């Protein structure tokens, strides 16, 4: 569409945008069951709008927002067992994982380029590998979809620079044996990055919510950095990812010196340049608004519903679970059905789920209710049996 010479009235444009964007699904609509994002906490839109002009990519202009970012990273770091952490609020898990791999590569110096990780690691590592000419050695998973430790150990060689562990896999919410990975990283002097983009805001609260909690966080001594996304289970708005380094020394490997900015010389620890200070303010506000008890309640609600839903799936003829869920992610197989076809038929009936190799994935996010899940299960069972 060509731009008109004269500008148009803002009310008119808003109305047009409402109309144009109305075909999109909404979280409130209850049909999005395959997303790791959700509607943010109600405090977020106001905070975002109020601080929209903050550009934390030029920190000298916005020193107070920078201080807030340090504070929020410290708060998140403390939730995951860190004491002297350093890091940044980023655009999401992809940027955080790429940045972590960049830091690992710089730490290793020249020559070492291999990263050992699970075959179920997120595709952001493929992006990182392509961008930085890294070689990913993908290791198979066991029957619980956790990386096979013996095979991972065997894959490590002279060229290995990093090990990646997953704390909440994209497909099934599986958590790798991070304790073992931590020991392996220390034994071999490797950078150890944990991708907790999804699980980072679930695992620290599982025990208090009444569920088994696999080992996770900086209490594992080999962990160098952790991705943890506020815009997933952290109830914040897109874009809000976070990469936390164990300490400032490790964070230095992610730095780029910039000299020309209006705010003065700086060291950016991001892939992006200009970035949203409103995201930082929103993450800060949500965390303090919810408090620890709110974050536990968020996880408890999701996990209670997951456990109920997993039982309902297991009790439905023709359906089965891929694994018993550890987090609020449920993989469903349908006997004798081609899953791409099942996913297409679900979508035709309005249901948006994620399709993986041999199963569909449901993520029980804050916007999902039992009623949505009941209706979904009826639809799925109708497709499978019909």
Are residues 335 and 319 in contact, defined by beta-carbon separation less than 8 angstroms? Answer: yes
Alpha helix (H) ranges present in the chain?
10-21, 43-50, 63-79, 93-108, 124-132, 149-155, 178-187, 206-209, 248-251, 277-314, 339-348, 370-385
Rg (CA), the chain: 22
Q: How far is CA 258 from CA 56, 66, 70, 245, in A?
A: 13, 16, 19, 21
Contact region for ligand PLP (CB under 6 A) — 136-144, 165-173, 301-309, 378-386? 165-173
Q: Which is nearer to ligand PLP, 33 or 36 (CB)?
A: 36
Query: Is residue 170 close enough to count as binding ligand PLP by CB under 6 A?
Result: yes
Binding residues for ligand PLP, rule CB under 6 A, total 15
Query: Is residue 236 close enough to count as binding ligand PLP by CB under 6 A?
Result: no
Q: Smallest distance, Å, CB 225 to ligand PLP?
A: 13
Q: Which is nearer to ligand PLP, 196 or 266 (CB)?
A: 196
Q: Smallest distance, Å, CB 357 to ligand PLP?
A: 15
* CB < 8 Å & 24+ apart, contacts of 245-252: 245/85, 245/86, 245/87, 245/103, 246/82, 246/84, 246/85, 246/218, 247/84, 247/85, 247/86, 248/84, 248/86, 250/86, 250/103, 250/107, 250/224, 250/225, 251/86, 251/87, 251/103
Q: Smallest distance, Å, CB 382 to ligand PLP?
A: 29
CA 218 – CA 221 distance, rounded (Å): 6
Q: Which one of residues 195, 246, 270, 309 is an interface residue with ligand PLP (CB under 6 A)?
A: 195
CA 164 – CA 298 distance, rounded (Å): 27
Site string for ligand PLP, 113-132 (x = CB under 6 A): ---------x-x--------
Are residues 280 and 69 in contact, defined by beta-carbon separation less than 8 angstroms? Answer: yes
3-state secondary structure of 300: helix
Q: Which is nearer to ligand PLP, 319 or 322 (CB)?
A: 322
Q: Which is nearer to ligand PLP, 112 or 361 (CB)?
A: 361
Longest Cα–Cα distance of the chain, Å, equals 67
Q: Which one of residues 101, 197, 299, 310 is an interface residue with ligand PLP (CB under 6 A)?
A: 197
Contact region for ligand PLP (CB under 6 A) — 126-134, 163-171, 216-224, 313-321? 163-171
Residue 252, C-beta contacts closer than 8 angstroms, at least 6 positions apart:
none
Contact region for ligand PLP (CB under 6 A) — 64-72, 77-85, 93-101, 151-159? 93-101
Residue 106, C-beta contacts closer than 8 angstroms, at least 6 positions apart:
253, 254
Q: Which is nearer to ligand PLP, 40 or 93 (CB)?
A: 93
Q: Smallest distance, Å, CB 120 to ligand PLP?
A: 9
Q: Smallest distance, Å, CB 121 to ligand PLP?
A: 8
Q: 3-state DSSP: the chain helix, strand, coil percent, rounded to 5?
A: 40, 20, 40
Q: Which one of residues 41, 58, 180, 229 is an interface residue with ligand PLP (CB under 6 A)?
A: 229
Q: Which of residues 322-381 bind ligand PLP (CB under 6 A)?
A: none
3-state secondary structure of 79: helix
Q: How far is CA 358 from CA 323, 339, 343, 363, in A?
A: 13, 6, 11, 17
Q: Which is nearer to ligand PLP, 58 or 229 (CB)?
A: 229
Q: Which is nearer to ligand PLP, 168 or 325 (CB)?
A: 168
Contact region for ligand PLP (CB under 6 A) — 7-15, 67-75, 76-84, 166-174? 166-174
Query: Is residue 93 close enough to count as binding ligand PLP by CB under 6 A?
Result: yes
Query: Is residue 241 close enough to count as binding ligand PLP by CB under 6 A?
Result: yes
CA 213 – CA 88 distance, rounded (Å): 26
Query: Is residue 88 close enough to count as binding ligand PLP by CB under 6 A?
Result: no
CA 59 – CA 65 distance, rounded (Å): 8
Q: Which one of residues 32, 33, 36, 68 is an interface residue with ligand PLP (CB under 6 A)?
A: 36
Query: Is residue 94 close enough to count as binding ligand PLP by CB under 6 A?
Result: yes
Query: Is residue 147 close enough to count as binding ligand PLP by CB under 6 A?
Result: no
Q: Which one of residues 51, 102, 191, 198 is an interface residue with ligand PLP (CB under 6 A)?
A: 198
Residues binding ligand PLP (CB under 6 A): 36, 92-94, 97, 122, 124, 166, 168, 170, 195, 197-198, 229, 241
């Amino acid at each position: 569409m060509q731009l008109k010479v004269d500008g148009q009235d803002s009310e008119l444009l808003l109305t047009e945008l409402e109309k144009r964007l109305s075909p999109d699904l909404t979280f409130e609509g209850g049909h999005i069951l395959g997303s790791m994002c959700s509607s943010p906490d109600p405090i977020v839109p106001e905070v975002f709008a109020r601080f929209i002009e903050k550009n934390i990519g030029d920190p000298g202009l916005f020193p107070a927002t920078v201080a807030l970012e340090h504070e929020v990273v410290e708060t998140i770091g403390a939730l995951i067992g860190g004491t002297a952490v350093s890091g940044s609020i980023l655009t999401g898990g992809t940027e955080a994982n790429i940045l972590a791999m960049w830091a690992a590569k710089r730490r290793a110096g020249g020559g070492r380029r291999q990263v050992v990780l699970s075959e179920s690691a997120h595709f952001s590592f493929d992006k990182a590998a392509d961008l930085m000419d890294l070689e990913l050695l993908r290791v198979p998973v066991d029957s619980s979809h956790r990386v096979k430790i013996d095979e991972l150990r065997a894959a490590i060689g002279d060229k290995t620079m990093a090990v990646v562990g997953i704390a909440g896999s994209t497909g099934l919410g599986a958590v790798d044996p991070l304790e073992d990975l931590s020991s392996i990283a220390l034994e071999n002097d490797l950078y150890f990055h944990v991708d907790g983009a999804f699980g980072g805001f679930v695992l620290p609260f599982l025990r208090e919510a009444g569920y088994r909690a696999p080992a996770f966080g900086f209490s594992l001594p080999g962990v160098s950095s952790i991705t943890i996304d506020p815009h997933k289970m952290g109830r914040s708005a897109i874009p809000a990812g976070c990469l936390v380094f164990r300490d400032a020394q490790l964070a230095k490997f992610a730095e780029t010196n910039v000299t020309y900015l209006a705010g003065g010389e700086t060291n950016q620890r991001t892939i992006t340049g200009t970035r949203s200070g409103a995201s930082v303010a929103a993450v800060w506000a949500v965390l303090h608004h919810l408090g620890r008890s709110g974050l536990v309640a968020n996880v408890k609600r999701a996990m209670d519903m997951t456990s109920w839903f997993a039982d309902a799936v297991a009790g439905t003829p023709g359906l089965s679970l891929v694994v018993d869920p550890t987090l609020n992610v449920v993989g469903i197989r349908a006997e004798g059905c081609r899953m791409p076809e099942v996913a297409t038929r679900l979508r035709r009936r309005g249901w948006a789920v994620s399709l993986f190799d041999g199963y569909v994935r449901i993520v029980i996010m804050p916007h999902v209710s039992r009623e949505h899940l009941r209706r979904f299960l009826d639809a799925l069972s109708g497709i499978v049996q019909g």
